[in-house]
Amino acid sequence: MNPISDDSADGSPSEPNIVVKLVPEKKGVFLKYSEYEVKSKSHDTVVRRRYKDFVTLYTYLMERYPYRMIPLLPPKQLLLDSLHEERRHGLQTWLTVVSMHPVLGCSPILVTFLSDKTADYQYRMQVMYEKQPDEFSRLREDVDLPWEDQEKLLASRDRLRKILYSLQRLRKIFDEQAFRAEQQARDMAEVDMILQGLEVRDVFGERTFDDVSQSAQAAARQSERYVQLQRNVVNERIHVLMDLLAAHNDLCQRVEKGIFSDHEKALSKTLGISRSRLRNSMRGGNATSDNNGSTVVASQSVPPTTNNNTNDPPATPDAVLNRKCAFALQCVRSETALAEQYLQSLPAILLSYANEESQYHSKVTDIEYVRANRWKYFINFSFAADVEDLASASS
């Protein structure tokens, strides 16, 4: 029996099955609070949750599945109206990532969150999951946990971290491009408003800017469409990938700073040598550092002991710790494979970006050409009218 599933997830980063909508604020005892309508397509349910319900879900998932990729929630803070949409978007992205996970997505904790419509929802969650053991504690003792190649895992972690940094840079550039296009749409809308205003018409009389105004409207509509597509089709999908990779990096840090730190302490105490000498001996003198100067135990670590015979005495604390390390490494390996799998959608995301960018610039070029010709026509028309007025005055 293999405790770690390598099966692909049912979801896809490009096709979220969770929709979170903001419900109008309600009055609390002291402050107003917001509710969110959470619609799950896979469970065919619609429930209402507050931010504290998301915090409860996150807490239970972290306690029961500490060896899985679980992104951070959007921060809790007193929100201005302009930030409500940002939090709603963050909660939707967070739920999308969690629901796509092959283990977390099937968790009864998440199912309860998405489907329980009772008034005492929080109490029921507490009764059902407050004292539930974590994933490792529920593992059967006869499950074999071979020691993973940690050098390979370390190389994969470094690669995924670099990809995350690249995606962060891409997302920033795409956001800036969308902002500029949004600003252009606002500028063109304002140009149209000014040209259609009575003030301008009074100055030019019958010679109006109708044709020029139409080109401004077309440019504004095209820019608005481009911004919407960029944010919904491209930036949203990149954001999901970024959250996945950030969660993977956090998982590696938790395993390293928690389980493996305890493992080193236990071995150091058992063998009676310093932790620094133990760490060097475990790595064979080839310690590998990550970008933050921290290290991961190499593949020469002491392999876990197994207790396959149910008649044997209970495992010692050191044996349990060895086994927990092996389980954590298997989870890291599985989560790394899952992150790599989700990254396969990146070429399609960038292709969508290139396609939208190409179409946008092509249409804007056509609009600008027509717009320039209409400005030229207006100039020629105005000049001819001025000459005619001058001739009439001379006669």
**pLDDT band of 370, cuts 50, 70, 90:** confident
Backbone angles phi, psi at 2, to 5 degrees: -100, 120
CB-CB contact of 67 with 136 (8 Å):
yes
Per-residue model confidence (pLDDT) at position 95:
92
User: Where would I find the H helices in the chain?
Assistant: 51-64, 81-100, 108-115, 121-129, 150-196, 198-204, 210-229, 236-254, 260-271, 275-282, 317-343, 346-394
Per-residue model confidence (pLDDT) at position 188:
80
**pLDDT band of 89, cuts 50, 70, 90:** confident
**Is residue 296 helix, strand or coil?**
coil
**pLDDT band of 278, cuts 50, 70, 90:** very low
**pLDDT band of 62, cuts 50, 70, 90:** very high
- For 213-271, what is each residue's pLDDT tens digit? 777 778 888 888 888 777 777 778 888 899 999 999 999 888 888 766 665 555 555 55
In the predicted model, is pLDDT for residue 383 greater than 70? Answer: no
Q: Which residue has the higher pLDDT, 144 or 167?
A: 167
In the predicted model, is pLDDT for residue 66 greater than 80? Answer: yes
Tokens of 6: 């390598």
Per-residue model confidence (pLDDT) at position 366:
76
In the predicted model, is pLDDT for residue 293 greater than 80? Answer: no
Q: Which of 81-90, 165-174, 280-289 has the lowest mean pLDDT?
A: 280-289
The amino acid at 377 = Y
**Is residue 48 helix, strand or coil?**
strand
Query: Look-up: residue for tokens 């109008």?
Result: 24
Give the span between the Cα atoms of 47 and 39, in whole angstroms: 7
CB-CB contact of 312 with 318 (8 Å):
no
The widest CA-to-CA distance across the chain, in whole angstroms, is 122
Q: Exposure of 26 by Cβ count < 10 A (0-12 exposed, 13-18 middle, 19+ buried)? A: exposed
What does pLDDT average to over the chain? 75
CB-CB contact of 57 with 129 (8 Å):
no
In the predicted model, is pLDDT for residue 47 greater than 90? Answer: yes
Buried b (16+ CB within 10 A) or exposed e, 255-277: bbeebbeebbebbbeeeeeeeee
Q: What is the mean pLDDT of residues 381-388?
A: 57
CB-CB contact of 302 with 267 (8 Å):
yes
- For 127-150, what is each residue's pLDDT tens digit? 888 888 888 888 888 787 877 787
Phi-psi domain of 268 (left: phi exceeds 0; alpha: psi -120 through 50; beta: other)? alpha
CB-CB contact of 52 with 121 (8 Å):
no
